[in-house]
Amino acid sequence: MAKLVAKIPEYTKMAMEFGKPRLQTFIKYAKVELVPPRPGEIPQIRAGIAKILSGAKSGAWKNTPVREAWLNTLVTVEVLCWFFVGECIGKRHIVGYNV
């Protein structure tokens, strides 16, 4: 146990050296990707939603390549999973609501 306690500063230094570049990369991408939309981007969002809806009505989704359809399916599953995780966190219980 004494050897382990003596190596804590060494392990801490190694963890800092390992994590620092990864943290900098995360922060770099987080500043770009994790910001809410700006007011100037709202028309682009509306245009994208309108394009999706018109494509669904016209049947353009039938011409989607398999790779793109698979990626869209994975993104949809990810969004649904995060929705359900958020629900569990919000109600502070895994099953059901307190009624």
pLDDT tens, per residue, the chain with 99 residues: 788 888 899 999 999 999 999 999 999 999 988 888 899 999 999 999 999 899 889 988 899 899 999 999 999 999 999 998 888 888 877 776 665
For CA atoms 85, 88, 91, 92, the dihedral sign is negative
Contact of 61 with 55, CB cutoff 8 Å: yes
- In which domain, by residue range, is 27 found? 1-45
Question: Residue 25: inside a domain, yes or no?
Answer: yes
Same domain (yes/no): 39, 75: no
CA dihedral 72, 86, 33, 76 (to 10 degrees): 0
Please count the structural domains in the chain. 2
Q: Whole-structure pTM over 0.85, yes or no?
A: no
Question: Residue 5: inside a domain, yes or no?
Answer: yes
The residue count for the chain: 99
Three-state secondary structure call for residue 34: coil
